């Protein structure tokens, strides 16, 4: 009897207008905390249309939408994206390593971007570009990707097709970062005018060669010697190079006397002598 009464009470509360209003408010606050990174597809000159469909999908998640543009000379594409409605920020990475848009190089860039901005969602269009990149990003983040979505029900619930499109599957993703690809034909293209996104440099995680400084020495590398003699016995037989000549001058003198290339490691009294032949 008690359980039945509680059940009825529970049903009335969960169907009350107060609860529904509170639920809507909490959902709105939750969506404000969302942030989505859309990986732009382009050819350094123009934006691929499926990226605009991905932006529309990202907007339905709520929260801020950022776009990542990587290429060799993609300023024009970045400016084009900055005018798309719904985009708050455009991150640009330009480097010769992104020539050909290799997924291996772009994955590292996406990871560096995610490390800095902590996005809740990462997506791209479900094209050959996106299908090559998204699984790599998900694997590096150690999360399960959701591929080829056609609908967004909530920030963690998506609809995708299976069995060659004959069955619709609703997927709830509980990963810390939701990584997914978007079927372009299921979402309208975002308007290409009216936006005013900021354009910033992406946190490129690349090593850059600046300069090389080499110290010159008359002595060859120890690793290149065919014969290495260590110990002070050889120098003692000749009176010791350090005793006769003193320091580095003694090494050079003994080198000229013997005819071999000699290098001394001065510990205290020329304890080690390396002979290179």
Q: How far apart are CA 209 and CA 204, in angstroms?
A: 14
pLDDT digits (tens, 9 = 90+) for 231-269: 554 444 444 444 444 444 444 444 444 444 444 544 444
Residue 65 inside a domain? The answer is: yes
Domain boundary among 201, 235, 257: 201
Q: Which residue has the tokens 């000699």?
A: 262
Buried b (16+ CB within 10 A) or exposed e, 106-145: bbbbbbbbbeebebbbbbbbbbebbbbbbbbbbeebebeb
pLDDT digits (tens, 9 = 90+) for 27-50: 444 445 789 999 999 999 999 999
Residues 175 and 73 reside in one and the same domain: yes
- Residue 243's pLDDT is 45
- The beta-strand segments (E) located in 96-219 are 121-125, 146-154, 157-162, 167-172, 178-182, 198-201
Residues 51 and 164 reside in one and the same domain: yes
Is the pLDDT at 166 greater than 70? The verdict is yes
Residue 206 inside a domain? The answer is: no
Domain boundary among 167, 201, 235: 201
Domain count within the chain: 2
Residues 241 and 196 reside in one and the same domain: no
Residue 237 inside a domain? The answer is: yes
Residues 194 and 235 reside in one and the same domain: no
pLDDT digits (tens, 9 = 90+) for 49-60: 999 999 999 999
Residues 195 and 228 reside in one and the same domain: no
Residue 208 inside a domain? The answer is: no
- Residue 2's pLDDT is 36
- Tell me the residue range of the domain where 148 lies: 29-201
SS3 assignment, position 265: strand
- Residue 138's pLDDT is 97
Residues 68 and 174 reside in one and the same domain: yes
Residue 13 inside a domain? The answer is: no
Residue 12 inside a domain? The answer is: no
Percent of the chain with pLDDT over 90: 58
Count the Cβ atoms, other than its own, within 10 Å of residue 237: 8
Query: 165: pLDDT confidence band, cut at 50, 70 and 90?
Result: confident
Residues 153 and 36 reside in one and the same domain: yes
pLDDT digits (tens, 9 = 90+) for 80-110: 999 999 999 999 999 999 999 999 999 999 9
Residues 197 and 268 reside in one and the same domain: no
Q: How far apart are CA 123 and CA 107, in angstroms?
A: 12
- pTM of the predicted model over 0.75: no
């Amino acid at each position: 009897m008690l359980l039945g009464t509680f059940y009825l009470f529970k049903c009335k509360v969960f169907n009350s207008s107060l609860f529904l209003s509170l639920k809507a408010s909490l959902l709105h606050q939750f969506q404000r905390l969302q942030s989505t990174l859309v990986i732009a597809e382009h050819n350094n000159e123009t934006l691929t249309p499926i990226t605009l469909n991905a932006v529309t999908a990202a907007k339905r998640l709520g929260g801020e939408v950022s776009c990542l543009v990587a290429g060799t000379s993609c300023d024009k594409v970045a400016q084009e994206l900055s005018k798309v409605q719904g985009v708050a920020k455009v991150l640009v990475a330009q480097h010769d390593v992104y020539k050909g848009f290799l997924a291996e190089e772009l994955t590292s860039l996406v990871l560096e971007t995610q490390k800095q901005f902590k996005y809740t969602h990462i997506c791209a269009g479900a094209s050959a570009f996106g299908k090559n990149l998204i699984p790599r990003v998900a694997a590096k983040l150690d999360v399960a990707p959701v591929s080829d979505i056609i609908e967004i029900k909530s920030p963690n619930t998506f609809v995708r097709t299976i069995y060659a499109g004959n069955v619709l599957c609703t997927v709830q993703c509980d990963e810390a970062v939701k990584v997914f690809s978007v079927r372009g034909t299921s979402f309208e293209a975002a308007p290409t005018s009216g936006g005013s996104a900021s354009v910033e440099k992406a946190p490129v995680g690349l090593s850059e060669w600046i300069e090389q400084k080499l110290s010159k020495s008359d002595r060859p590398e120890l690793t290149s010697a065919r014969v290495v003699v260590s110990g002070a016995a050889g120098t003692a037989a000749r009176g010791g190079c350090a005793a006769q000549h003193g320091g580095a001058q003694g090494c050079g003198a003994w080198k000229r006397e013997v005819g071999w290339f000699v290098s001394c490691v001065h510990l205290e009294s020329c304890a080690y002598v390396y002979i290179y032949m």
